[in-house]
Amino acid sequence: MDGQAAVVKLSARNVRVHYWRERSDEPLLAVDGVTLDVREGEFVSIVGPSGCGKTTFLNAVDGLLPISSGSLAIDGRPVTGPGRDRAMVFQQPSLLPWRSVLGNVMYGMELERQLSRREMRERAREHIKLVGLEGFEDSYPLELSGGMQQRVNLARALATDPVMLLLDEPFASLDAQTREFMQLELLRIWRRTRKTAIFITHDIKEAIYLADRVVVFTARPGRVKEQIDVDLPRPRELRIKRDPRFLAYEDRVWNLIEEEGTMARAAVR
């Protein structure tokens, strides 16, 4: 973490989250007893088998889902719902098609009503430049590639100046080459902003490449199976993915996930 002080931004203690299944009129336990600290300025990736509750946990951190028991706190304050201290970046950009790039980046700030129109425009332009889209302020979403749309999505989230950035598979819908370059860009932006970040992904290479720490969830109901500190130098170039140290981390994470998959299959026989 480049010498950052270990100030805890997110504290999760024995977090459980249920979904209610209307057909059977029964609860489904999605997350079971997750205890996790995320430090200020840290980039944490969460991986695990499909359906293990990664996104459920992230939605709970964002305040979109209530927890059934345990506690979630940001800067010591309990999470009781969505708040200005968090910004979510989803898999799909969800841009407003009738708004320009500038208008879309301003949208979150307009909802918060904390800044004047001039201040919002200035901040929006700063973040459009930060994500590498200077010159596209007046373009509309349909005129942009998928990668460019996600840059707008990221700029919109960052422009509200959140304490924590929550990213739910933001590059999953992109082609492989664009996804690699977006990973590189995200790290560049993160180094500039030093936002505390939680990143959900199914891509093991992506998780390791981006993170200070990889948290591996068990199969549903999701629990923390293991936390792995990624001791690779920063800044990172894409070629580090060929480094033997990187490949060792990849093998370790894959083995943990494969183990969970094997146990889950055995449990349903």
DSSP string of 32-100? Answer: EEEEEEEETT-EEEEE-STTSSHHHHHHHHTTSS--SEEEEEETTEE--S--TTEEEE-SS----TTS-
Q: Around 136, how many Cα atoms within 13 Å sit in the side-chain half-sphere?
A: 21
Residue 19: predicted pLDDT: 86
Residue 88: predicted pLDDT: 94
**DSSP letter (8 states) at residue 238:** G
List beta partners, residue 43: 197
Residue 31 phi/psi, 5° resolution? Answer: -130, 130
Asked if 212 and 45 count as a contact pair (C-beta separation under 8 A), the reply is no
**Helical (H) or strand (E) element with 215:** strand 213-217
Model confidence over 95-121: pLDDT tens digits? 999 999 999 999 989 988 888 999 999
* Residue-range domains of the chain with CATH: 8-85+163-267 (3.40.50.300), 94-161 (no CATH)
Model confidence over 195-241: pLDDT tens digits? 999 999 999 999 999 999 999 999 999 999 999 999 999 999 999 99
Is 180's pLDDT higher than 90? yes
The stretch 4-28 carries a mean pLDDT of: 85
- What's the pTM value of the predicted model, to 2 decimals? 0.93
Model confidence over 46-101: pLDDT tens digits? 999 999 999 999 999 999 999 999 999 999 999 999 999 999 999 988 899 999 99
Residue 267: predicted pLDDT: 67
Is 1's pLDDT higher than 60? no
Burial of 70 (C-beta count, 10 Å sphere; 0-12/13-18/19+): middle
How distant is the alpha carbon of residue 164 from its chain centre? 9
**DSSP letter (8 states) at residue 173:** T
The string over 27-53, giving b where at least 16 C-beta atoms fall within 10 Å of a residue's C-beta and e elsewhere, is: eeebbbbbebebbbbbbbbbbbbeebb
